[in-house]
Amino acid sequence: MKSPEQTWRWIKSHIKQEWKTAFVSAVLFGLLIHMPILLSDIPNHDGLDSIYFDQNMITSGRWFLTIACGFSSYYTLPWVIGLIAIFNLALAGVALTEFLEVKSKGCIVLISGLLVSFPAVASTFAYVFTMDGYMLALFLAILSVLLTARFKWGFLGGMVCLALSMGTYQAYLPFAVLLSIYGILMLAMSEMPFKEKLQRGARYLYMGALGSVLYYVVLQLLLRLQGKTLDDYQGINGMGSIGEKGLFSILKSMYHDFFAFTLKGNVLFHNIFSIIALILLAGLTLFTFIRLIVLKKWWRSPWFYCMAILLAAGLPVAANLILLISPDVNYHLLMRYQWVLFLILMIAFVSRYSPAGTMGMEAVGTFAGTESNREISGRVVRITPDTGCALRSWCLLTAAAVLVVNYAVTDNIAYSNLAKRYEKTYAYCIRLLDRIEQTEGYYQGIPIAMVGVVGNEEFPTTDITGAVTSGMIGITGDSLLYRGDNYELFIRHYLGATLNILPAEAMTDAYYADFYRKMGSFPAEDSIQIVDGIMYIKTENIE
């Protein structure tokens, strides 16, 4: 048996330089961009319910989440949870760059930067109580594809990783699917024998099918052991069923949603800089692809056109796979992280077929030994200067860097707004709690019935970040308060007072009662009244 020191030296000797670059880059980007949320105790509306939460969400199909989040305890500890989340995200960056076989340090750094800075990460980090588990799910989804690609029987390990990923958060399944499609595409473009291409490509199908079956079998087994059933949250109880909509209608909505979010989702781009960067990145990818078509004469093959049509038709479906699994889902940004892959895969594709790979090379005979020489397929070649190739490399790195900076700024605008949401909510609840306690007839424990929203007429919208953050769930808007229990939890945990807020059903009959309709909305003088032993608080104008 090796000593700890010997084991550590063995591990260090087997760590590739590319892995170090990806890991360190992801950690540094993660700390620099997301430090505001890690150093603050700023909940969002769901966070109020999760100051302590055991993450047992098996009724939502997330049977592994309680284990994935258990390393950081079940308390909301932003710094501890955040560091674990960034560590998991860095591992995801390592696995991703290894699968994509990116060798350029600049590209590896920027791929890690995009992975860490994409606004979906900021929205996930706003749900701080669960972000370490979700980032572990992301890593497992990527690892499932990497194992499948690297080893003959790797799809078995990939199957387990995919099942654990889906058991933590099902939304990262499209991540694995898109990477698998890219892997199959790279096989199709390779020079290996056709039979081997089929055998390697089939592994991705085995991994996906077996992993999904394993996830579902474990889910059903645990549901029976705990005596529970899937609930209707996000339509999870209809998992895998087409329902009344029909397959054609669902596919149509998937395509519509794909293009609507890509072009108008207010996430991929916000300003002229990000638009130019995206156009430049897409242009470089298209140029590289067309150049390969010409060099390899793919345009002569009918298979090329079949592959191109299938790829164009399949990508929107793969990206929106969640809508096929659960058509009634509220499809928010936490479930759209896979859009960053379109950017990352463009960088990887251009880098893979970059000047260092197929351009600007000249055969020089059989001699070797200088830094300007490279051996490819048994031939020694010399890299010759190519101004066009250098320009394209600069454009690629610049476009990616602009997007990283743009997303980093977007994340911090969102974090700034989240902090202001907390401050506004704190000030509002201070005023409300004081009025409650000063109301004649109030006593500790009096039943309180109220609607959770904050009235727009009395408290007009003051958020100025909507143009940037409108698509970022959990992090946009003015207030943390949407339900009566939000008030109860915020006042308990942040003001140190306990209120007996009744369930929402208590307002069913009273909401349209004459006395309630005549009440003014808070802070009106008559916005709080005690009727038949129940304190009614009106926070909105129902007219």
Distance CA 385, CA 374 (A): 14
pLDDT in tens, 99-156: 999 999 999 999 999 999 999 999 999 999 999 999 999 999 999 999 999 999 999 9
Instruction: Specify the DSSP element, H or E, that contains 346.
Output: helix 339-352
Distance CA 262, CA 344 (A): 15
pLDDT in tens, 157-179: 999 999 999 999 999 999 999 99
For the cut 60, the answer to whether the pLDDT of residue 333 exceeds it is yes
Instruction: Say what the pLDDT of residue 458 is.
Output: 84
Higher-confidence residue: 454 or 99? 99
For the cut 60, the answer to whether the pLDDT of residue 96 exceeds it is yes
For the cut 80, the answer to whether the pLDDT of residue 341 exceeds it is yes
Check whether the bond before 523 is cis (ω within 30° of 0): yes
Mean pLDDT over residues 309-334, rounded?
Answer: 88
Instruction: Say what the pLDDT of residue 382 is.
Output: 47
- Hunting for tokens 């499209």 — which residue is that? 174
pLDDT in tens, 263-281: 999 999 989 999 999 999 9
| pLDDT tier, 357 (very low <50, low <70, confident <90, very high otherwise) | very low
Instruction: Say what the pLDDT of residue 373 is.
Output: 43
For the cut 80, the answer to whether the pLDDT of residue 244 exceeds it is no
Share of the chain above pLDDT 90, in %: 65
Distance CA 291, CA 474 (A): 43
Domain boundary assignment for the chain = 413-537
Q: Could you say which DSSP state residue 478 is in?
A: S
For the cut 80, the answer to whether the pLDDT of residue 9 exceeds it is yes
For the cut 70, the answer to whether the pLDDT of residue 402 exceeds it is yes
For the cut 80, the answer to whether the pLDDT of residue 379 exceeds it is no
Distance CA 470, CA 55 (A): 28
pLDDT in tens, 500-530: 999 888 888 888 889 998 999 999 999 999 9
Mean pLDDT over residues 274-295, rounded?
Answer: 94
Mean pLDDT over residues 367-389, rounded?
Answer: 47
Average per-residue pLDDT for the chain: 88
Check whether the bond before 316 is cis (ω within 30° of 0): no
Polymer length of the chain: 543
